Amino acid sequence: MTLAAVARTAGVSVSTASLAFSGLGPVSDATRDKVLAAADTLGYSGPDPRARSLRQGRSGVVGMLVENSVIRAFRDPVNVGMVDGVAEVLGDAGAGVLLLTDAPHARSAFDNAAMDGMVLSGCSPLVAELLESLRRRHIPTVLLGSRARPGVPAVDVDNLTATEQLARRLAELGHRQAATVTLPLDAAGTQFVSPALLAGAGGDTAADRLRGFWSVFPTGVALAATDSTVEEGERIGRLLLDRVDRPTAVVAQSDLLAAGVVRAAEGLGLAVPTDLSVVGFDGIELQTFTSHALTTMRQPMQDKGRTAARTVLRLIEGGRPRSVTLDCEFVPGTTIAPPPP
Amino acid sequence: MTLAAVARTAGVSVSTASLAFSGLGPVSDATRDKVLAAADTLGYSGPDPRARSLRQGRSGVVGMLVENSVIRAFRDPVNVGMVDGVAEVLGDAGAGVLLLTDAPHARSAFDNAAMDGMVLSGCSPLVAELLESLRRRHIPTVLLGSRARPGVPAVDVDNLTATEQLARRLAELGHRQAATVTLPLDAAGTQFVSPALLAGAGGDTAADRLRGFWSVFPTGVALAATDSTVEEGERIGRLLLDRVDRPTAVVAQSDLLAAGVVRAAEGLGLAVPTDLSVVGFDGIELQTFTSHALTTMRQPMQDKGRTAARTVLRLIEGGRPRSVTLDCEFVPGTTIAPPPP
DNA sequence: CTGTTAGCGCGTTCAC
DNA sequence: GTGAACGCGCTAACAG
């Protein structure tokens, strides 16, 4: 069934039939009805999206890349929130979201899919390579959660300042011995993070948050997690709390990590916040504790997604949108207190 | 940049250049190198997916619909697991996943996207309408989590039997007064579920699980939640536990609901499982409790997704795959015990 | 308001 | 092993 066949049956030209479907051009009601009736008779269900997208040079699809597998990415509500925001804005624009991961087996889909634009979230080590591929294909791209590059705007929060604010609260409470649990900093999964390693790292989320921490606690120990999960937080938390120079406060770079640190502390018989202060980052709804409300910095996950989607839409239309930095909001919580005497 | 331009630069015909890229036909190494070199020079990055998909009649994209918004759907790990399974199998097949929701504003994307197939998950009241639209467009479809229809295979677990098994365990422990918290049963959001209402309901997940429950506890009270969340579980749980005929056991139709029921019980000063037995459904990793391990029925979420994806791929290839029913596995947990004397 | 004309960029017959 | 020609189904100009 083609538009041509419908037009023939309706006794009109294809272009008229096309206009009848798109509703864009001036078509008399009578003609439109004739066309629609013919379509109905023939079981024609509207223009073929493939042909339409070839003709228009648009597919109505925007890719969204998340790190790792779908299941790992969506274990973190931050990613879910961002995808939700992207889907919302794109849906309103009549576009669809092609969900992609940076897993090797998804590479072929990434390379061959018809996309009008791309939202690259995360700071996967593959980002540079993927960006290069997108550049060659002239696919407008927005980075979500990493720093802008020439010609590629980014949407993010000010991770450095936000973390600095959290650290400063701890300092103001009297903490001198603070440590931090960072998100993965390099592909190698190095655990003990030195300033030298940080210097070599890019402008990623983990690096910026670490800089914010170190700007307040320049000698604070930093251990990197391999993933943003409660389990990893607990593992690294135990490592930190077992040290002879046990910290009195821990800045975790995500709420999930922070929840793990709290759990590690309680496992060792330490009370939070009396014996140990813990802060997180993200402001997700943690169902892990009922007894604590995590002190953290809430980032606008959905807004990040929405803004990224709007930005990529503008890019697709040929605009030159600028990078956007969104604000975080301090969530007081109940997991910080002055250090034990 | 078109393939034709590359061919011209390389001094070969377009068809030869096409073969050089796809690697399908017989092309001498020398020729292929010439073509690739020309492409590199001109900054050509491979065939245009839009044109390719028109020509081949395939877009390499399979739609996956989840209920509600992305954020609501992915609050439930079951949906995340299913999408992960779908993405994994489709990725291996070189196909991409177009993430769609049944939200009204996403309807245009649903209708206009170029898709080779569709995985419709959930039992949204819109399913019938969406199925009809897909049928007219000749888009092969697989249902995930609802009953097969003529020409539309389904992938699911045996919800009735699985719930029956859970209920039977409770009965065997001596429970006579059991209640159930169901997933949403109708669009109206009716709270008190009568057998008459169930008779009118379709063959959905909620209905099947309820049938399994009633087959063991024919007079058990059934209240429907409006969503599968801990909060809803807690709300309905409180309603159940406040009744004069307070149940000694609750069968919740999802783990999230079950977690809410446990929380409601504890809020009322009831100990689980001493005062109240609770079972869930799904087998997700609940971080809500540390003191309990939920007694539940684990369903293979990722396998459901993988199987659905394999089924839709077979459908796309013109096969006639059958519906698949996967097995659940009982998870003993620590939230059931004999009823209090 | 309607019809005619021309591709969009590619893959795939066929001949050679 | 390679090339020429055709059409996938549609829409955007333009002409009437």
Q: SS in 3 state form for A239-291?
A: HHHCCCCCCCEEEECCHHHHHHHHHHHHHCCCCCCCCCEEECCECCCCCCCCC
CA distance A50 to chain B (A): 5
DSSP A339: P
SS3 B33: helix
Cis amide bond preceding B273, omega within 30: yes
User: Can A61-156+300-326 and A159-299 be said to share one CATH topology?
Assistant: yes
In chain A, where the domains are located: 3-47, 61-156+300-326, 159-299
Residue of A nearest to B77 (CA): A75
Residue B81 one-letter amino acid: G
- Does any strand C atom come closer than 7 Å to the Cβ of B3? yes
> Contacts of residue B45 in chain A, CB cutoff 8 Å?
133, 136-137
Q: Which residue of A has its CA nearest to B50?
A: A54
Q: How far is the CA of B56 from the C1' of D6 (A)?
A: 15
- Nucleotide C7's nearest residue (CA vs C1') is A55
Give backbone dihedrals phi and psi of B239, rounded to 5 degrees, phi first: -55, -45
For residue B160, pLDDT over 90 is answered with yes
Q: Do A97 and B98 touch (CB under 8 A)?
A: yes
Query: Which pLDDT tens digit goes with each residue over B17-67?
Result: 999 998 887 888 888 998 999 999 999 999 999 999 999 999 999 999 999
Q: Which string of b and e fits A223-249 if b means at least 16 CB within 10 Å?
A: bbbebbbbbbbbbbbbbbbeeeeebbb
Least CB–CB distance from A105: residue in B91, B111, B133: B91
Dist. CA B86–CA B312, nearest whole Å: 10
Q: Measure B179 CA to D5 C1' (Å).
A: 73
Q: Which residue of B has its CA nearest to A39?
A: B136
* A120 DSSP 8-state letter: E
Token readout for B330 is 């009982």
Q: Please indicate whether, in this complex, the C-beta atoms of A302 and B105 are within 8 angstroms of each other.
A: no
From CA B266, how far away is CA B275, in angstroms rounded?
A: 10
Give the number of A-B residue pairs with CB atoms closer than 8 Å: 170
CA A164 to chain centre: 21
Residues 6+ apart with CB under 8 A from A150: none
What is the structure's pLDDT at A124? 82
Does the pLDDT at position A94 exceed 90? Answer: yes
Taking residues A299-304, what's their average pLDDT? 98
- Give yes or no for a contact between A125 and A90, defined as CB atoms under 8 angstroms apart: no
Distance A75 CA to D1 C1' (A): 53
Q: What is the pLDDT of residues B302-331, one digit of tens each?
A: 999 999 999 999 999 999 999 999 999 999
Q: Considering just the CA atoms, what is the radius of gyration of chain A in Å?
A: 25
> CA B12 → C1' D9, Å?
28
Asked if the Cβ of residue A54 lies within 7 A of any atom of strand C, the reply is yes
Q: Is B62 on the interface with A (CB under 8 A)?
A: no
Judged by C1' against the alpha carbon of A7, the nearest nucleotide is C3
Mean per-residue pLDDT, A193-197: 91
Q: Mean pLDDT highest for which of A31-45, A215-229, B189-203, B277-291?
A: A215-229
User: Token match 């690294």: residue?
Assistant: A236
**Cβ atoms < 10 Å from Cβ of B15:** 11
Pairwise CB contact (< 8 Å): B98 & A96 = yes
Q: Does the N-terminal peptide bond of residue A273 adopt cis geometry, omega within 30 degrees of 0?
A: yes
Q: Is A22's CB less than 7 Å from nucleic acid strand C?
A: no
The tens digit of pLDDT for each residue in A145-190 reads 999 999 999 999 999 999 999 999 999 999 999 999 999 988 888 8
Sheet containing strand A117-121, edge to edge, reads: A324-326, A154-157, A141-144, A117-121, A61-66, A96-101, B96-101, B61-66, B117-121, B141-144, B154-157, B324-326
**A23 interfaces chain B, CB cutoff of 8 Å:** no
Q: Which residues of A touch B54 (CB under 8 A)?
A: 48, 50-51, 53-54
DSSP H helices, B28-99, are: 29-42, 49-56, 70-73, 77-92
Superfamily of structural domain A61-156+300-326 = Response regulator (3.40.50.2300)
A4 contact to strand D (CB, 7 A limit):
yes
Give the residue ranges of DSSP H helices in A49-182.
Answer: 49-56, 70-73, 77-92, 107-112, 127-136, 159-172
The model's pTM is 0.96
B2 interfacial to chain A (CB closer than 8 Å):
no
Of the two residues A22 and B115, the one the predictor is more confident about is: B115
- Say how far B165 CA is from C4 C1', in Å: 70
Per-chain mean pLDDT for chain A: 94
Give B57-106 pLDDT, tens digit per residue: 999 999 999 999 999 999 999 999 999 999 999 999 999 999 999 999 99
The C-alpha R_g of chain B, in whole angstroms, comes to 25
Distance A333 CA to D10 C1' (A): 58
In a mutational test of the A interface, the residue from B36, B68, B70 whose CB has the highest number of chain A CBs within 10 Å is B70
Tell me which residue in B54, B91, B109 faces A106 most closely, judged by beta carbons: B91
* Contact, A24 CB vs strand D, < 7 Å: yes
pLDDT of residue B288: 67
Q: In this predicted structure, which of A5-14, B235-244, B276-285 has the lowest mean pLDDT?
A: A5-14
Q: In the prediction, which pLDDT does A203 show?
A: 62
To test the contact with chain A by mutation, choose from B62, B66, B67, B71 the residue with the greatest count of A C-beta atoms within 10 A, namely: B71
Write out pLDDT tens, residues B138-154: 999 999 999 999 999 99
Q: Do B43 and A88 touch (CB under 8 A)?
A: no
Q: Which CATH class is domain A159-299?
A: alpha beta
Q: Is strand D less than 7 A from the beta carbon of B79? A: no
Angle (CA) B317-B323-B324 rounded to 5° is 110
A22 vs A157, A293, B112, CA distance in Å?
40, 53, 12
How far apart, in whole angstroms, are the C-alpha atoms of residue A322 and residue A333? 34
| Amino acid letter for position B34 | K
Residue B203 has pLDDT above 80, yes or no: no
Question: For the residues B199-206, what does the mean pLDDT come to?
Answer: 80
Q: Put residue A307 in one of left, alpha, beta given phi > 0 → left and psi -120 to 50 → alpha.
A: alpha
The answer, yes or no, to whether residue A229 has pLDDT greater than 80, is yes
- Is residue A202's pLDDT more than 90? no
Task: Quickly count: other Cβ atoms within 10 Å of residue B111's Cβ.
Answer: 15
Three-state SS at A189: coil
- A127-136, A294-303, B21-30: which range is least confident on average? B21-30
Cα distance between residue A92 and residue A61, in whole Å: 13
Find, among B215, B236, B240, the residue nearest to B227 by Cα.
B236
Q: Rounded to the nearest 5 degrees, what angle is found at the Cα of A270, between the Cα atoms of A266 and A272?
A: 80
**Residues 102-121, chain B: which have Cβ within 8 Å of A?**
103, 105-106, 108-115
Q: Is the CB of B36 under 7 A from strand D?
A: no
What is the enclosing helix (H) or strand (E) of B142? strand B141-144
d(CA B317, CA B312): 9
- Nearest-CA neighbor of A115 among A153, A152, A74, A65? A65
Tokens of B272: 């689980």
Helix (H) or strand (E) holding B232: helix B230-241
Q: Give kind and range of the element (H or E) at residue A223.
A: strand A221-224
Instruction: Provide the CA A9 to C1' C7 distance, Å, integer.
Output: 25
Q: Check residue A288 and give its pLDDT.
A: 67
